[in-house]
Each structure stands twice: as structure tokens, then as C-alpha cells.
Amino acid sequence: MIKRTAVHVKKTMYGEGTGHDWWHVYRVWNIAKRIAETEKNADMEVVELGALLHDIKDWKFSNGDMKAGEKAARDWLESIDTDPEIVDKVCYIVGNVSFKGSGVKDKMKTLEGRIVQDADRIDAIGAIGIARCFAYGGYKGRQIYDPEIKPVMHKTFAAYKSSEGTSVNHFYEKLLLLKDRMHTREGKRIAAERDRFICEYLDRFMDEWEGRK
């Protein structure tokens, strides 16, 4: 079931250029398995399927439809005769995994969901996260940086979804917040290291922006 799902997701998402492609899914899948191995009582099958399907029909590429991914995941899992209980658990993850703004609380209630959410957020920070941030910013036509445009701490998902800030602002509006939103011990450990790298990068970016280096 997991192998078939991996093949399906790779076929569906391969070559996408915004940083939400198959290789993002592949990395999240590996990180999620790594975290799950450190957590007691995690259902590895649910974790792996949740990680593989977490970005299928992402709302950012589905006209803002928050249910598109959940529906696509359910349709796929039911087509390969997955146990209905597993289908529900995986679809819950897919429907709740996304970051929805700095002022919006996470709703993930299951251990498996928290593991996948941590893995997804870990891939949004560190060296990979920096690359993905600018790739998506280019796709959206955003400026790299404008010191006259200040970061906004979005209090609602609607505000976050309609944000038109710069790519560098996205670090402050989301990426630098993720370290403190990890659920698992292993997730927190990995995130702390990647967060330090982002901070070092931003210091260097600002030095070069001002011509100090």
C-alpha cells in the first residue's frame, strides 16, 4: 500500500517547481519515519501514508480549496481498498497539516498527525527551507526583500492566505516561528539546528544587503 502510494504521489507531483514537489514529499516522508521511530505507540502505516499524501492537491494550488487535498487522498486510498479507519486517520492529517498563520493555533490532535506536521515544518526550515522559500516567492512574483514592507503577523487564515509580502518577510511571518511549534522531542531537536542556520543566513543577508560584507 505504501509503495503504491509513493509511486502514485511521485507520478502526480514530480517536476513541480515551487518547492512543493515529489522531492519535498520524499524528504518529509523520511523525516516523519525518523521521528516516528523515537515516539512510542506511533502507527507507522498512518505516519507514512500521511506523509506521502500530505501535500496532494495543496490548497495553494487548488484555488484556496482546503478540502481538495483531503478529497484527493481519500479517493486514492479508497481506490486501493485501504481500511476505512486508516483512510479517516490519514485524511485527518492531510486536512489539518498546513500552517495557517502566526496567530492561528494548530488543531492537530493525533500523534501521527503531529509527527507528519513536524516533518513537514522541518522541511520548511534550514538550507532546504531557504531554497523552497525563494522558489515559491518567485512562483508568486514576490520581491526578494523590501525594507519598507514590514512583516505581518497574520491573525487569521484568510489574512495569511492573501498575504503579498516579500520572500524575506516570510521568514519572520512563518519560518522562524516553526521551531517553537514542534510537537515531538526529535522534531524540536532537528528544528533547533535548522533554525540556527536560518538566523545565520538572515544575518549574512542583511549584511550583504547593506553592503557591510
Residue whose C-alpha cell is 525594507? 147
Q: For residue range 49-108, what is the model confidence (pLDDT) as tens digits?
A: 999 999 997 767 656 566 888 999 999 999 999 999 999 999 999 999 988 888 888 889
Report pLDDT for 59.
Answer: 62
Backbone phi, psi, residue 193, to 5°: -65, -45
Residue 164, pLDDT score: 82
| Dist. CA 35–CA 92, nearest whole Å | 19
Per-residue pLDDT, 160: 83
CB burial class (10 A; 0-12, 13-18, 19+) of residue 210? exposed
DSSP the chain: -HHHHHHHHHHHHTT-SSS-SHHHHHHHHHHHHHHHTTSTT--HHHHHHHHHHTTTT-GGGTTT-TTHHHHHHHHHHHHTT--HHHHHHHHHHHHH-S---TTS-----SHHHHHHHHHHHHTTSHHHHHHHHHHHHHHTT--S--TTS-----SSHHHHHT----HHHHHHHTGGGGGGG--SHHHHHHHHHHHHHHHHHHHHHHHHHTT--
Kindly list the distances between the CA atom of residue 187 and the CA atoms of 55, 107, 179, 212, in Å, as whole numbers in the listed order.
Answer: 19, 17, 9, 35
Q: In the prediction, which pLDDT does 103 show?
A: 85
- What are the sequence ranges of the domains in the chain? 2-209
> pLDDT at position 115, please?
98
Helix axes 185-209, 111-122, angle to 10 degrees: 20
- Would you identify the CATH topology of the domain 2-209? Hypothetical protein af1432 (1.10.3210)
* Residue numbers in the chain where pLDDT is lower than 70: 59, 61-66
